[in-house]
Amino acid sequence: MEYGEKMETASNFLYVAGNAQSVIVASAVLICNMIGVIVLMTTVGKSVWNYFHHERHVKLTLAHGIALALEFKLAAEILQTITAHDWNEIAVLGTIIVLRAAISLLIHWEIKTEQLAVAEERSKEQRKL
């Protein structure tokens, strides 16, 4: 096999490998996005059900579900950086990642605040007994 043929074979292999990577990453991104949507819709449905049945701590349930859904969406965005083709695309994905991470941090802060309120409410109830 001559040098030119070896280079062509290597080039073809890299092309096929690159396409396979793109397909795998695109599939993983789709799966992560779909799981995020399913988690979010399930959480919203559960929270609406709990609200109309006068359950307590609906806000906490909703916040936990939103945080989990955001984690899946964030994973999908990180996976997309693998197949980014230029710096503009990386910048857009990076901005989306930063914004989603900031929203996730705010939701986790809200969860901790709500958990403290629930704990305080429970301690007041126990003092009344």
The ranges assigned to domains in the chain are 3-128
Which amino acid appears at position 60 of this protein? L
C-alpha 76 chain-centroid distance: 6
61 and 50 Cβ atoms separated by less than 8 Å: yes
Lowest-confidence pick of 3-12, 20-29, 43-52, 105-114: 3-12
Say what the pTM is: 0.76
Q: What is the pLDDT of residue 112?
A: 93
CA atoms within 13 A on the CB side of 34: 6
33 and 76 Cβ atoms separated by less than 8 Å: yes
Classify residue 44 by its DSSP letter: H
Average pLDDT over residues 98-102: 90
C-alpha 102 chain-centroid distance: 12
Which amino acid appears at position 73 of this protein? K
